[in-house]
């Protein structure tokens, strides 16, 4: 999918929009922030693969296997994975309606934390549905777990210890984040670290060394894959 000179990009949602980390040959190249995903992707126009920490691919009438399998893999840290309900839930106008729809379709309710993803989820799926097949869903906690030889990071990503562990794991795998990230340096550190982990996974996807859950992936009604890559 990419030659050894190709760039990849990792993307995470953040309070002000989106943050991205670009790698070239597996090494840090640049970091960017933008209020919308299209604007951020402009900074990664040359990227062969974009790893993004947001659910990509919604099923018509059931929960996704990818989330269930990722939660099981994280074990005691399984709460870091949100279960993603069917597409029709995300088409509702507000939380109350979405929660009711979720109960009607799946028999279970929708958490407010999950509904908080709605704007970013719609934005990312719109981009991929429009034809940008570079986008691959990743989950940074699964990526960090892979970097740590299968052990999930126990410290919260918002804690000092958790951020130092994650930064050390990235560094051990060749992703050295500089102290000054220019405008992207205003983004919360945990979001930058997640974007860097997404970029690490994107590099693996580009070079054919990645894994995914499930394998083979589920498919949307349009045939697009539904899986978490790392």
Q: Is the pLDDT of residue 4 over 90?
A: no
Largest CA distance in the chain: 50
The CATH code of domain 7-57+129-213 reads 3.30.420
Contact 170, 176 (CB under 8 A): yes
pTM above 0.85, yes or no: yes
Q: For the beta carbon of residue 35, count every other beta carbon within 10 angstroms.
A: 10
Q: Which residues pair with 28 in a beta bridge?
A: 23
Q: Taking all residues of the chain, what is their mean pLDDT, rounded to a whole number?
A: 95
Average pLDDT of the residues in 23-34: 98
pLDDT of residue 6: 87
* C-alpha distance from residue 12 to each of 52, 75, 91, 137 (Å): 6, 23, 22, 10
pLDDT of residue 3: 42
Q: Is the pLDDT of residue 21 over 80?
A: yes
Q: Is the pLDDT of residue 203 over 90?
A: yes
pLDDT of residue 2: 39
Rounded CA-CA distance 122/124 in Å is 6
* C-alpha distance from residue 111 to each of 51, 85, 96, 207 (Å): 25, 10, 10, 36
Q: What is the pLDDT of residues 131-155, one digit of tens each?
A: 999 999 999 999 999 999 999 999 9
Percent of the chain with pLDDT over 70: 98
Rounded CA-CA distance 114/81 in Å is 10
């Amino acid at each position: 999918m990419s030659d050894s000179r190709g760039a990849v990009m990792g993307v995470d949602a953040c309070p002000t929009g989106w943050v991205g980390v670009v790698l070239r040959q597996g090494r840090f190249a640049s970091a960017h922030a933008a209020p919308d995903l299209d604007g951020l992707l402009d900074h990664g126009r040359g990227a062969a693969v974009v790893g993004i920490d947001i659910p990509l691919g919604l099923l018509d009438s059931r929960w996704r296997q990818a989330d269930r399998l990722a939660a099981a893999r994280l074990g005691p840290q399984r709460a870091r994975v949100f279960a993603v309900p069917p597409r029709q839930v995300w088409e509702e106008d507000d939380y109350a309606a979405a929660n009711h729809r979720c109960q009607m379709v799946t028999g279970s309710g929708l958490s407010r934390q999950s509904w908080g993803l709605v704007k970013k989820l719609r934005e990312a799926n719109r981009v991929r549905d429009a034809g940008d097949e570079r986008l691959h869903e990743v989950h940074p906690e699964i990526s960090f777990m892979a970097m740590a030889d299968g052990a999930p990071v126990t410290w919260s990503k918002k804690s000092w210890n958790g951020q130092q562990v994650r930064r050390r794991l990235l560094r051990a795998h060749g992703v050295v984040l500089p102290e000054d990230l220019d405008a992207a340096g205003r983004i919360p550190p945990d979001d930058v670290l997640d974007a860097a982990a997404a970029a690490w996974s994107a590099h693996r996807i580009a070079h054919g060394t990645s894994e995914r859950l499930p394998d083979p992936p589920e498919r949307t009604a349009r045939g697009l894959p539904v899986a978490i890559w790392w």
